[in-house]
Structure 1
């Protein structure tokens, strides 16, 4: 979609097209729409990130918890499926899958939200390495890191959908 087409959408149309950018959290698109019309794709990305960052901590934790575990076999959104497939998370060996499951469970128990990693451009080994490093961080640091990763995911998804 071209940016000039985006700028013709009303609030309902904007939410219909972009409500899934932030995983199961259409409120991010609703808030970002307040910054329309957008001067550039980057301005739109910034509006989405600002909507996320300006939200209450309760809304942020709900957003984080809406993300799937990495390498899960649960039903994922189309975007998550494609992103995880691109990183090779759909071809894990039984041992790799067991390790991801163990790390996912430990991380969620410790932090109260899933491990979030913007997987685009990363390999399964890089993701696993990041997981093993970050699992030792304190929850406050991981909360901020997870929000940064969500911001990266938002950027990637909007870059995929919007032409300048």
Structure 2
């Protein structure tokens, strides 16, 4: 989609189109719609990042809680968003061995028990072995540091999802 078209979208169409660039958080798209027109895809991304950064800790944790467990129940029962399904499948999380699946389930549960929100990583910027390594390594983080790390991963996911929807070289004159 051209950026000029993005800037012309009605509120409803904007939220429908961009409502999942931050996983299951259409409120983010709803909040940034009023900041149109965007002069670039980067400006749209910045508006989303600014909104997330302005949230209190509870809101930021809420964004993390909207993310599914990697290779978790949502994948098994077919309730992942299209974006998450594609991202997880591209790194092989939809085809884990029995041993990998057991390990992933344990890591997901341990992580959530420790931090209170799911592990979030930009799968498109990693591979399966690194995702397992990161899940183990990040357990050593303090809760506040891990919340910030998770939010940075959300922003990476958002950036890539935006680029899937809007032409990256698109610019408009404001």
Interval of TM-score (by shorter of Structure 1 and Structure 2): over 0.9
Deviation at 1:87, TM superposition (A): 1.1
1:63 aligned onto 2:63: yes
The unaligned stretches of length 5 or more in structure 1 are: none
> After TM superposition, what 4+ stretches of structure 1 lie above 2 angstroms from structure 2?
none
Deviation at 1:62, TM superposition (A): 1.3
Aligned to 1:44: 44
User: In 2, Cα distance between the equivalents of 1:73 and 1:8?
Assistant: 38
* 1:85-164 correspondence runs (5 A): 85-163=89-167, 164=170
Deviations 1:39-64 (A, max 9, x none): 00111111111111112222211111
Deviation at 1:16, TM superposition (A): 1.5
> What TM-score, normalized to structure 1?
0.96
Deviation at 1:34, TM superposition (A): 2.4
The unaligned stretches of length 5 or more in structure 2 are: none
User: In 2, Cα distance between the equivalents of 1:58 and 1:12?
Assistant: 26
Contact 1:67 1:116 in 2 (8 A): yes
Deviations 1:14-40 (A, max 9, x none): 111111211111111111212210000
Aligned residues: 164
Aligned to 2:30: 30
User: In 2, Cα distance between the equivalents of 1:92 and 1:135?
Assistant: 22
> What TM-score, normalized to structure 2?
0.91
Deviations 1:140-162 (A, max 9, x none): 11000000000001001001110
User: In 2, Cα distance between the equivalents of 1:73 and 1:85?
Assistant: 14
